[in-house]
Amino acid sequence: MQSKLSDIELIEQTLAGNQSAYTDLVKRHQRFVFTLAMRFAKGREDAEEIAQDCFIKAYRSLASFQGQSKFSTWLYSIVYTTAMTFLRKKRVATDSIDDENIHIQIENHSGYDVNNVENKSKSFYLNQAIEQLLPDDAAIITLFYKGEQSLEEIGQAMGMEANTVKVKLFRARQRLKEKLERNLKHEVKELI
Amino acid sequence: MNNMEEKLWEYIDGRCTPDEQESIGALIAEDESIRLKYNQLLRFSQELSAMEIDEPPMAFTYNVMEAIRAEEAQKPLKASINKRIIMGIAAFFVLTIFALLVYAAAGIQWSSVNIISQIPSVSKLPEANNFITRPVIMGFMFFDVILGLFLADTYLRRKKSTKQL
């Protein structure tokens, strides 16, 4: 059972030495932090490593959190920088989604039949298509739709201007639609 | 159409001014192609809002808190090294130097007028060659190397911990 205290109250308690308050904060935000990490890492093990690293870093720097933004926005900025460092270290290919190799992967991955499509949820296909986007596009869509973050807050977390985020969000949604059309072909009309 | 799509997204996201909202609302009501596009984008937006997010492993919270506890456990030891041991060593050196100065000052005949001329006869400095032998030099060098490695290790650890933050 998660605490009903606000993020700020939990932070104050953590800073006063109550570690169980931080456990509640982790429980509250772990799903989204993990999902966001998945947008960059594309693998559960790596995403777990990034997410864990983020919560440890956040704990270390908790005293420096001024409360000028939402705790979630501050936490997502840590996720973003940690994930970018991770990508640089791992040298993960961040090639365009139009890359020929990725096309082949997608074609193989989406080798579906009608029954298979019916059995799987819309959410599964959306997540699958998001995974095929560039990390920044995937992160912006996830932050906007699931992170309850405004364009300004996303900009703050990702170190961009709100206007840049707006343009990127528009393009990311277009690319996502293209991915879905490519992945699901005829079924996409039911989905979007 | 791209421009229209952009406007429709702003309308759906609720980022329009009241005037824009009114004009786009009127366009949706009047133009069937725009209405179709709007409905398509709205459905897509609703699907995105409703999509499920990933679930981390069961032991995720436990692992995070264990890592934090392990890090916290190291802190008191570090603090005691910094405050007590280092201050103790510093106090020992300060006291030793002070005692040596007191001892040296006690041996000087302050009443003598021509103290400078007496120094060579009073202080018989020991032969340096008796002390600076090969084992002493080797020992000194070894101590320097160890001290150098210790300082380098401390510097790198500090750099690493700063980077992690």
Which tens digit of pLDDT belongs to each residue from B102-153? 888 777 766 665 555 555 555 566 677 777 778 888 888 899 899 999 998 9
Alpha carbon distance, N-terminus to C-terminus of chain B: 47
Record: contact A47-B50, CB cut-off 8 A: no
Q: Is residue B118 part of a domain?
A: no
Torsion over CA: A102, A94, A69, A162 (sign): negative
Domain range enclosing B63: 56-110
Q: Is residue B43 part of a domain?
A: yes
Distance from CA of B130 to the nearest CA of A (A): 55
Test the B interface: residue of A18, A34, A46 with most B CBs within 10 Å: A34
pLDDT at B63: 93
Chain A residue numbers touching B47 (CB-CB < 8 A): 122, 126, 191-192
- B30 and B66 belong to one structural domain: no
- B6 and B43 belong to one structural domain: yes
Query: Mind listing the domains of chain A with CATH numbers?
Result: 7-90 (1.10.1740.10), 100-191 (1.10.10.10)
Residue of B53, B63, B68 with shortest CB distance to A59 = B68
Q: Is residue B116 part of a domain?
A: no
Q: Specify the range with the lowest mean pLDDT, choosing from A112-126, A127-141, A145-159.
A: A112-126
How far apart are the C-alpha atoms of A30 and A147, rounded to whole Å?
A: 12
Q: Is residue B115 part of a domain?
A: no
CA A42 to chain centre: 10
How far apart are the C-alpha atoms of A122 and A108, rounded to whole Å?
A: 19
- Running DSSP on this structure, what letter comes out for residue B127? P
- B6 and B36 belong to one structural domain: yes
- B38 and B11 belong to one structural domain: yes
pTM over 0.90: no
B69-112 per-position pLDDT tens digit: 988 887 665 555 667 778 888 888 899 888 888 888 777 766 66
Chain A residue numbers touching B9 (CB-CB < 8 A): 170, 173
Q: Residue A135 corresponds to which tokens in the numbers above?
A: 């990390």
Convert A109-144 into a string of H (helix), E (strand) and C (coil). HCCCCHHHHHHCCHHHHHHHHHHCCCHHHHHHHHHH
Q: Residue A164 corresponds to which tokens in the numbers above?
A: 């840049």
Chain B residue numbers touching A146 (CB-CB < 8 A): 49, 51, 53
> How many domains are contained in chain B?
3
Alpha carbon distance, N-terminus to C-terminus of chain A: 36
- B46 and B60 belong to one structural domain: no
Q: Is residue B106 part of a domain?
A: yes
Q: What phi and psi, each to the nearest 5 degrees, are found at residue B13?
A: -75, -10
Tell which wins on pLDDT, A90 or B13.
B13
- B61 and B44 belong to one structural domain: no
The torsion of the CA quartet A56, A60, A63, A67, rounded to 10 degrees, works out to -30
Record: contact A31-B165, CB cut-off 8 A: no
At residue A55 the predicted structure's pLDDT band, cuts being 50, 70 and 90, is: very high
